[in-house]
Amino acid sequence: MADIKKADRKLKYWGWGYEDAGLDGDQTKALLATFADGFGINPSRDGAFPTLDAIELPKCRLEAPASLEDVCTDDKFERVYHAFGQSQPDSLRTYAGDFDHAPDIVAFPETERHIAEIYEWAGKTNAAVIPWGAGSSVVGGVTSDVGSKYNGVISVDMGRMNKVLEVDEVSRAARIQGGALGPDLEAQLKPHGLTLRHFPQSFQHSTFGGWIATRSGGHFATLYTHIDDLVEATTTVTPAGDIVSRRLPGSGAGPSPDRFVALGSEGALGIITEGWARLQGRPTYKATAGYRFTDFFDAARAVRAVSQAGLYPANVRIVDGTELQVNGAGDGSFTLMVVSFESADHPVDAWMERAEECCLDHGGTVDVPWRDNPDAHLQGAVGAWRTAFIRMPYNREQLTPRGIISDTFETAITWDRFEEFYGAIKDATQSAIRDVTGHDGAVSCRFSHAYPDGPAPYFAFHAPGDPQNMLAQWQELKTRASDALIKHGGTITHHHAVGRDHQKWYEQQRPALFGDVIGDAKKRLDPKGVLNPGVIVG
Ligand SMILES: Cc1cc2nc3c(=O)[nH]c(=O)nc-3n(C[C@H](O)[C@H](O)[C@H](O)COP(=O)(O)OP(=O)(O)OC[C@H]3O[C@@H](n4cnc5c(N)ncnc54)[C@H](O)[C@@H]3O)c2cc1C
């Protein structure tokens, strides 16, 4: 089997990103002090992680056929690294050294032919195939734990199919391979003066194909919220053949192949090897402002006013007092609203003026002014929140091994039901934390995206766990919060996808007959049922 060349910077198998990136000693101390002083959440363990030597892996059960030998490996690091994504249970199991389910083989296909051969091999040996973009799934989408029905697991890492293959500067679109990471595809678009500008928080370690497969949400808080809006055409390689859609700016010809087979397919119907994406000019006009509200619902009403005014800001996020406090960006006494506009074509002052009126009309006061202030995004609570947001992905690797449960979930709801919904979800999560941990913990909320007909609230919760029982505690908290989302009319996910963790609630949310249709499509495209078992199709 191939001796897969290691990248210069090693990725962590126990946390986020590269081994040399993360919180330093002072930042970790500050994080733990915020939890202890603000919420009485104290560490119960030391923060150690299992070394690679200490991890025991079961024997590899598969042998790659000769034609795939050069792109397959059973290297220990690769098997460990591809065993989990980035969810809270993934992290808990990593720190517990629970790697019995690690994939037998990690494949790095370079061509669509390789992928077809992997399907053939998996079908013959009854192995499961788990498509892997960069493994940033927070819902168990790449967790290779598929049960005992399969004779092995092949994780298919798309990292070698990572090029921008073509740029159409006239229509402003590019043909991009599925395995291209965010920074790599932007670097390849830059010489053309164009950008995809799809920036999920996981941008650095997630891929174009992964974004399409999960219908990811980027930094645009309105208008182009999901990758869906930026996808022009897709190529999906399935065990039954390839599905290649036509490049079109729009089409009314029946159900869309992109939406039916690629967007939201989460590796269960095929592997997205490439797609055409709509691009934009790089923005030259930008403005940001921050407003404080004493009442969270006033801030929400201001967001509604902006969203319904036809303004479409790039950013219109509110962050409640607890969320600011947990992240060291506020004292818990106010909600922050951040508003930004950007354009490659025209000044944005008129839009900023109107958005400011909406904020002031609803009781907001200026925290950071925007006029003649190009550094507004770095100032005041806006700047403090931005710094915290950049560090956030690294927090969990300091909290989980210290016995602190830390997770997020996101949803969407129409404005008419928002206030009642918000109260119900917060109460359900808060009381679950009390019942499960005997502690108040911290439950917070922000809006990640906003639409004219409703917001996408994003909740976070933190609580001291019982080190011997944290996985079961997390499962109970997740179950009660998810039950509440479905019961009160929200979606089980606005942009984090379904994965294994949300499957039960996705099945409750989607119409039953539609579930049957997806099941039938799966049987047609993946007749041997090798692709990502347990995801999308139960
Ligand atoms: C710190 C952090 C921040 C995050 N922020 C955001 C955010 O702002 N917005 C957001 O939407 N999500 C966010 N996520 C979740 C995650 O980054 C997204 O779901 C992302 O789209 C996954 O991309 P990936 O390339 O890492 O895919 P993976 O995690 O590798 O895979 C995700 C799913 O897609 C499937 N898949 C991957 N590639 C392909 C392919 N080429 N063809 C078919 N199926 C494929 C996998 O089988 C799996 O089911 C965040 C995650 C973390 C850890």
| Stretch (H or E) spanning 451 | strand 442-451
Angstrom distance (rounded) from CA 134 to CA 233: 22
- CB atoms under 10 Å from CB of 294, counted, come to 13
Please tell me if the CB atom of residue 460 comes closer than 6 angstroms to any atom of ligand 1.
no
Summarize the confidence of residues 17-29 as an average pLDDT. 96
Q: Which pLDDT tens digit goes with each residue over 440-483? A: 999 999 999 999 999 999 999 999 999 999 999 999 999 999 99
Say whether pLDDT at 4 is over 90. no
Strand, helix or coil for residue 146: coil
- Say if residue 262 is in the same domain as residue 199: yes
- Say if residue 275 is in the same domain as residue 289: no
In this structure, is residue 77 part of a structural domain? yes
Report residue 383 as tokens.
């700047």
Angstrom distance (rounded) from CA 227 to CA 106: 27
Do 144 and 103 contact (CB within 8 A), yes or no?
yes
Say whether pLDDT at 333 is over 90. yes
Bridge partners of 457, per DSSP, are: 447
Angstrom distance (rounded) from CA 275 to CA 265: 14
Do 214 and 262 contact (CB within 8 A), yes or no?
no
- Say if residue 107 is in the same domain as residue 138: yes
In this structure, is residue 257 part of a structural domain? yes
Q: Which pLDDT tens digit goes with each residue over 429-452? A: 999 999 999 999 999 999 999 999
DSSP designation for 452 = T
Residue showing tokens 């098997």: 79
Cα 346 vs. chain centroid, distance in angstroms? 31
Residue 531 main-chain phi, psi, to 5 deg: -80, 125
| Stretch (H or E) spanning 520 | helix 512-525
- pTM for this prediction: 0.98
Which residues neighbour 507 within 8 Å (Cβ) at sequence distance 6 or greater? 515, 538
The predicted structure's pLDDT at residue 538: 83
Q: Name the amino acid, one letter, at 170.
A: V
Q: What is the CA radius of gyration of the chain?
A: 23
Strand, helix or coil for residue 373: coil
DSSP designation for 205 = G
The predicted structure's pLDDT at residue 8: 77
Summarize the confidence of residues 16-39 as an average pLDDT. 96
Which residues neighbour 215 within 8 Å (Cβ) at sequence distance 6 or greater? 226, 227, 228, 263, 264, 495, 497
CA of 203 to the centre of ligand 1 (A): 9
271, with CB counted inside 10 A (0-12, 13-18, 19+), is buried
- Say if residue 321 is in the same domain as residue 237: no
In this structure, is residue 182 part of a structural domain? yes
Report residue 506 as tokens.
């996705």
Strand, helix or coil for residue 230: helix
- CB atoms under 10 Å from CB of 53, counted, come to 7
CA of 214 to the centre of ligand 1 (A): 6
Q: Which residue's CA is the nearest one to ligand 1's atom 48? A: 141
Please tell me if the CB atom of residue 207 comes closer than 6 angstroms to any atom of ligand 1.
yes
Strand, helix or coil for residue 204: helix
Q: pLDDT band at 5, cuts 50/70/90?
A: low
Please tell me if the CB atom of residue 131 comes closer than 6 angstroms to any atom of ligand 1.
yes
Q: Which domain holds residue 225?
A: 164-281
- Say if residue 101 is in the same domain as residue 168: no
70, with CB counted inside 10 A (0-12, 13-18, 19+), is middle
Atom of ligand 1 nearest to the CA of 200: 8
Q: Residue 210's domain is classified under what CATH number?
A: 3.30.465.10
Say whether pLDDT at 215 is over 90. yes
- Say if residue 63 is in the same domain as residue 127: yes
Average per-residue pLDDT in the chain? 96
- Say if residue 168 is in the same domain as residue 145: no
Say whether pLDDT at 1 is over 80. no
Do 98 and 14 contact (CB within 8 A), yes or no?
no
Summarize the confidence of residues 306-315 as an average pLDDT. 96
Cα 530 vs. chain centroid, distance in angstroms? 24
Residue 337 main-chain phi, psi, to 5 deg: -120, 130
Q: Domain ends where: 99, 126, 160?
A: 160
In this structure, is residue 188 part of a structural domain? yes
Do 18 and 9 contact (CB within 8 A), yes or no?
yes
Please tell me if the CB atom of residue 395 comes closer than 6 angstroms to any atom of ligand 1.
no
Q: pLDDT band at 46, cuts 50/70/90?
A: confident
Please tell me if the CB atom of residue 130 comes closer than 6 angstroms to any atom of ligand 1.
yes
In a 13 Å sphere around the CA of 379, the CA atoms on its Cβ side amount to 14
Do 381 and 324 contact (CB within 8 A), yes or no?
yes
Atom of ligand 1 nearest to the CA of 448: 8
End-to-end alpha-carbon separation of the chain, Å? 33
Q: Which of 98, 96, 212, 231 is nearest to 174 (CA)?
A: 231
CA of 270 to the centre of ligand 1 (A): 15
Summarize the confidence of residues 27-35 as an average pLDDT. 95
DSSP designation for 353 = H
The secondary structure of 16-62 as a DSSP string is: SSBTT-S--HHHHHHHHHHHHHHH-----S------TTT---PPP--
Q: Are strands 285-293 and 335-343 parallel, antiparallel or unpaired?
A: antiparallel
Q: At what angle do helices 349-361 and 296-308 cross, to 10 degrees?
A: 140
Q: Domain ends where: 394, 417, 443?
A: 394
User: Which of 112, 214, 260 best tests ligand 1's pocket when mutated (most atoms within 8 Å of CB)?
Assistant: 214
Which residues neighbour 353 within 8 Å (Cβ) at sequence distance 6 or greater? none
Say whether pLDDT at 2 is over 70. no
- Say if residue 115 is in the same domain as residue 202: no
The predicted structure's pLDDT at residue 217: 98
Largest CA distance in the chain: 69
Report residue 250 as tokens.
């729009």
Structural domains in the chain (count):
3
Q: Which residue's CA is the nearest one to ligand 1's atom 8? A: 200
Say whether pLDDT at 6 is over 60. no
Bridge partners of 406, per DSSP, are: 462
The per-residue b/e assignment along 199-222, b for 16 or more CB within 10 angstroms, e otherwise, is bbbbbbbbbbbbbbbbbbbbbbbb
- Say if residue 291 is in the same domain as residue 367: yes
In this structure, is residue 176 part of a structural domain? yes
Q: Which pLDDT tens digit goes with each residue over 358-372? A: 999 999 999 999 999
In this structure, is residue 64 part of a structural domain? yes
Do 334 and 322 contact (CB within 8 A), yes or no?
no
In this structure, is residue 354 part of a structural domain? yes
Angstrom distance (rounded) from CA 446 to CA 460: 9
pLDDT over 70 for what percent of the chain? 99
Q: Domain ends where: 160, 186, 213?
A: 160
Residue 16 main-chain phi, psi, to 5 deg: -100, 130
- Say if residue 256 is in the same domain as residue 183: yes
Q: Which of 417, 415, 464 is nearest to 307 (CA)?
A: 415
Q: Residue 307's domain is classified under what CATH number?
A: 3.30.70.3450
In this structure, is residue 510 part of a structural domain? no
Q: Which pLDDT tens digit goes with each residue over 376-416? A: 999 999 999 999 999 999 999 999 999 999 999 999 999 99
